[in-house]
Amino acid sequence: MALLNILHYPDERLHKVAKPVAAVDERIRTLIDDMGETMYAARGIGLAATQVNVHERVVVIDLSEDHTELTAFVNPEILEKDGEIVYEEGCLSVPGIYDKVTRAEHVKVRALGRDGQPFELEAHGLLAICIQHEIDHLNGKVFVEYLSKMKQDRIKTKLKKQERNNL
Ligand code: GNR
Ligand code: NI
């Protein structure tokens, strides 16, 4: 297993659109496992491959406290969405920034699992939010893009300064 490097906003590679996975093979299973390890180490509840600079449609999510419910979503598709929920979101690619985003409260998603088999899942609340947040990453979208331009500019300045101080 390996820890992967997480890209930080405003890195332009976070805006690349990820390509569909042709087959869930050993390479993809290794990516899923490394993404899980990286997500747990960073204390996140989800991670998209885009965030580790792999531009393929792979997401991992685990909302459990004890890291026992790792779910991989390969080529995830939202089949249905409804309702509205506002939640204070954060992102491992936007460290230290939290702000309210409105999303669908319920989604029905189809994806391939780590075993390559298709599955469907109905999600509400935080799981629904997380699935939408991760699929946004695969489409090159970071949650701060839902905020005002002024907030986006302030976040960019703050994170660039942080990055500079970390060198
Ligand atoms: O760890 C995470 N927490 C979180 C909280 C509210 C809404 C979305 C998230 S996802 C985030 C991990 C992450 O950046 N995934 O892309
Ligand atoms: Ni994120």
Over residues 5-32, the pLDDT tens digits come to 999 999 999 999 999 999 999 999 999 9
The pTM for the full model equals: 0.98
Residue in 73, 100, 130 to alter for ligand 1 test, most ligand atoms within 8 A of Cβ: 130
Which atom of ligand 1 is closest in space to residue 42's alpha carbon?
A: 1
Which atom of ligand 1 is closest in space to residue 134's alpha carbon?
A: 16
Residue 97 CA, ligand 1 centroid: distance in Å: 11
- Mean pLDDT of the region 88-114: 98
Q: Give yes or no for residue 135 CB within 6 A of ligand 1.
A: no
Q: Do the beta carbons of residue 54 and residue 138 sit within 8 Å? A: no
Over residues 50-61, the pLDDT tens digits come to 999 999 999 999
Q: How far apart are CA 6 and CA 39, in angstroms?
A: 9
Q: Give yes or no for residue 103 CB within 6 A of ligand 1.
A: no
Helix, strand and coil content of the chain, in percent to the nearest 5, comes to: 35, 25, 35
